[in-house]
Amino acid sequence: MSLERCRPADIDALTDFLTAVDLTVSGLDAPTVRLWIDRDTTGTVTGSTGYELSGDGSHALIRSVAVSPDARSRGRGTDLARFALARAAQEGASRAWLFSRRSGPFWQGVGFFPADRDELSAALADTHQVRLFRITGQLEHEVAWSRPLDRGEFDGGPHRGSNL
């Protein structure tokens, strides 16, 4: 995996990729959203990962973790998730949160547990995705997940060697 920081010129390709895998595409260009992409040898986006930090930096909303369907079941999703968790921890976040209605078992394998949706929305009230979900009424249909973050847990993990 050779991740690169998502640049403004990559947003259209990332939007197409995330639309194809049925993930939220709103706010990808928001200044508070940190995103990375993985490409194949042709330059096509085949994976993505990222997060948004709360205003105080202590909470991270994990988002846009996806692998193209033809590259799944090889551990890439776990590597992408761990990358975002490691980066958020490096920035000082002590708790990670996310929304997922379909991928609970995957996220449990990365250390997440079911969480209170209202607690998530309070901790991350200023993030683009939470604001969007409140405005659109989607928040009440979401399933929240959370886990603590420890910077030391990710030392030597998959974030090394990535093009950042």
Q: Which amino acid appears at position 30 of this protein?
A: A
pLDDT of residue 155: 63
The low-confidence residues of the chain, meaning pLDDT below 70, are 1, 73, 155-164
| Percentage of residues of the chain with pLDDT beyond 90 | 61
User: How many other CB atoms sit within 10 Å of the CB of residue 163?
Assistant: 9
pLDDT of residue 39: 92
Number of helical (H) and strand (E) elements in the chain, helices listed first = 5, 7
Closest CA to 112 of 143, 90, 91, 139: 143
pLDDT of residue 37: 96
pLDDT of residue 152: 75
pTM here is: 0.88
Distance CA 147, CA 113 (A): 6
Contacts of 98 (CB under 8 A, 6+ apart): 61, 62, 63, 65, 107, 112, 144, 145, 146
Closest CA to 65 of 100, 94, 39: 100
Distance CA 98, CA 142 (A): 10
pLDDT of residue 33: 92
